[in-house]
């Protein structure tokens, strides 16, 4: 279905946003630059839904439900701390919307196992999770792109602010939508990824992606002491032994993060590094200061919510109620299209 044919009208811009995070840990600066900054900006322009994807988190944490549960409130507090406004954005819990699980079942007929196995993000993640899955991955994990298609379409969302790792998943969702529409009629909308300036933030260890489950992240809630420890142990140019050796900022994680947190100074920092005029310790200290200052207001706002767990709970409950209503509207249309509306006339 083309956007202009959208029969549901949402706010002045007539399109909806759906995005979310897995409660597998607190949110980090990869989320911040990759997705959260866009969410905060876009919530002023579009009706926004933010999912706490606890069901998806269980696909690779099924043996640790406590971890998933405990991280739900952490994720919500992180969102609120960076400026997600509960009056503008609807924050909701995936497991409380059974329509998402139902849609997942319907869509699972529309995607082949081979296609899921070829999904590059799923492939990378399975390789990273060999310890958990051994030689054979679970049906649930292999199928999480299908449940993600259900998340998006349950709310008829078309704008999906994400990091680069999500592109193959959005593509897979688009394929499912096209297949559904071609069989059952033009019901679903094709979503598009909304990538920010920083689509993939690297990890402290030099890994191409900072990830909650990869142990290489600076969290938005980290204290100055923790930031210090992490930056001090970040990967730098291994060829640089002495302070006056010329350094290579292109292979230094400290220089990489200066690009994000020290925009005005980064040019000078890199020139001095290349000329052997700036030692790694001074460079790291400056980064620690800049990250700490940047995150201070976020930590302060987070602290406000940490002291008020009942407010956080209320926001999540209200958001879930609203999301539930919306998902029911989509489900009625989907069931009608799929001839599953048996007792409608009764
Ligand atoms: P996990 O390791 O448990 O998968 P994660 O750190 O990848 O956690 P998710 O909850 O899977 O976080 O991702 C939430 C959103 O943040 C997604 O849109 C994802 O693309 C984005 N994101 C995650 N990590 C990064 C990163 N390093 N750079 C840019 N965007 C990111
Ligand atoms: Mg992830």
Mean pLDDT of 1-7: 45
Percent of the chain with pLDDT over 90: 79
Backbone angles phi, psi at 204, to 5 degrees: -55, -30
Q: At what angle do helices 280-306 and 266-274 cross, to 10 degrees?
A: 150
Report in angstroms the alpha-carbon separations of 222 from 78, 158, 206, 218, 254: 11, 33, 19, 7, 17
Mean pLDDT of 307-314: 98
* pLDDT for res 249: 92
Q: How confident is the model at residue 194 (pLDDT cuts 50, 70, 90)?
A: very high
For residue 8, pLDDT beyond 50 = no
Pocket of ligand 1 (CB under 6 A): 21-22, 24, 30-31, 34-35, 162-163, 165-166, 200-201, 209-214
* pLDDT for res 313: 98
| Ligand approaching nearest to the C-alpha of 31 | 1
Q: Give the pLDDT confidence of 213-265 residue by residue, as tens digits.
A: 788 999 999 999 999 999 999 988 888 888 788 889 999 999 999 999 998 89
For residue 6, pLDDT beyond 70 = no
| Ligand approaching nearest to the C-alpha of 209 | 1
Look at ligand 1, atom 14, and give the residue with the nearest C-alpha: 21
| Ligand approaching nearest to the C-alpha of 32 | 1
Q: Give the pLDDT confidence of 202-214 residue by residue, as tens digits.
A: 999 999 899 887 8
Question: Which of 26, 34, 70, 167 to probe ligand 1 with, by most ligand atoms within 8 A of CB?
Answer: 34
Gap from CA of 303 to ligand 2 centroid (Å): 25
Gap from CA of 171 to ligand 1 centroid (Å): 17
* pLDDT for res 4: 46
Q: Give the pLDDT confidence of 27-50 residue by residue, as tens digits.
A: 999 999 989 999 999 999 999 999
For residue 269, pLDDT beyond 80 = yes
The pTM for the full model equals 0.92
Question: Which atom of ligand 1 approaches the CA of 36 most closely?
Answer: 16
Q: How confident is the model at residue 346 (pLDDT cuts 50, 70, 90)?
A: low
In terms of C-beta distances under 8 Å and separation of at least 24 residues, what long-range contacts does 292-295 make, across chains too? 292/224, 292/227, 294/261, 295/220, 295/222, 295/227
Question: Which atom of ligand 1 approaches the CA of 125 most closely?
Answer: 4
The answer to whether the beta carbons of residues 272 and 278 sit under 8 Å apart is: yes
Q: Give the pLDDT confidence of 94-105 residue by residue, as tens digits.
A: 999 999 999 999
For residue 331, pLDDT beyond 70 = yes
Question: Which atom of ligand 1 approaches the CA of 203 most closely?
Answer: 27
Question: Which atom of ligand 1 approaches the CA of 23 most closely?
Answer: 10
Q: At what angle do helices 144-154 and 309-337 cross, to 10 degrees?
A: 90
Q: Give the pLDDT confidence of 162-175 residue by residue, as tens digits.
A: 989 999 999 999 99
CA distance 237 to 123: 30
Mean pLDDT of the chain: 92
* pLDDT for res 214: 84
């Amino acid at each position: 279905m083309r956007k202009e044919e959208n029969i549901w009208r949402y706010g002045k811009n007539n399109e909806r946003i759906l995005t979310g995070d897995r409660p597998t840990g607190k949110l980090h600066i990869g989320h911040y630059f990759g997705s959260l900054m866009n969410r905060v900006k876009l919530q002023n322009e579009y009706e926004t839904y933010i999912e706490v994807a606890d069901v998806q988190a269980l696909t690779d944490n099924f043996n640790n439900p406590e971890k998933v549960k405990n991280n739900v409130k952490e994720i919500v507090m992180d969102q609120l701390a960076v400026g997600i406004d509960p009056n503008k954005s609807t924050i909701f819990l995936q497991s409380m919307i059974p329509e998402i699980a139902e849609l997942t079942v319907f869509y699972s007929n529309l995607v082949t196992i081979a296609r899921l196995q070829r999904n590059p993000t799923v492939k990378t993640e399975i390789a990273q999770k060999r310890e958990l899955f051994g030689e054979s991955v679970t049906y649930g994990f292999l199928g999480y792109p299908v449940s993600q298609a259900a998340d998006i379409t349950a709310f008829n969302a078309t704008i999906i602010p994400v990091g680069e790792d999500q592109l193959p998943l959005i593509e897979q969702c688009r394929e499912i939508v096209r297949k559904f529409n071609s069989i059952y009629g033009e019901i679903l909308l094709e979503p598009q990824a909304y990538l920010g300036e920083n689509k993939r933030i690297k990890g402290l260890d030099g890994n191409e992606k900072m990830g909650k489950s990869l142990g290489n992240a600076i969290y938005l809630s980290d204290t100055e002491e923790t930031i210090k420890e992490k930056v001090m142990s970040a990967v730098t140019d291994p060829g640089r032994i002495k302070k006056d050796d010329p350094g290579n900022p292109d292979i230094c994680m400290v220089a990489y993060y200066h690009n994000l947190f020290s925009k005005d100074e980064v040019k000078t920092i890199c020139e001095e590094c290349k000329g052997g005029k700036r030692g790694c310790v001074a460079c790291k200290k400056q980064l620690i200061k800049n990250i700490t200052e940047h995150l201070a207001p976020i930590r302060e706002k987070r602290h406000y919510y940490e002291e008020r767990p009942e407010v956080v709970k209320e926001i999540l409950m209200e958001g879930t109620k609203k999301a539930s209503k919306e998902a029911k509207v989509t489900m009625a249309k989907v069931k009608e299209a799929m001839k599953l509306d048996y007792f409608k006339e009764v």
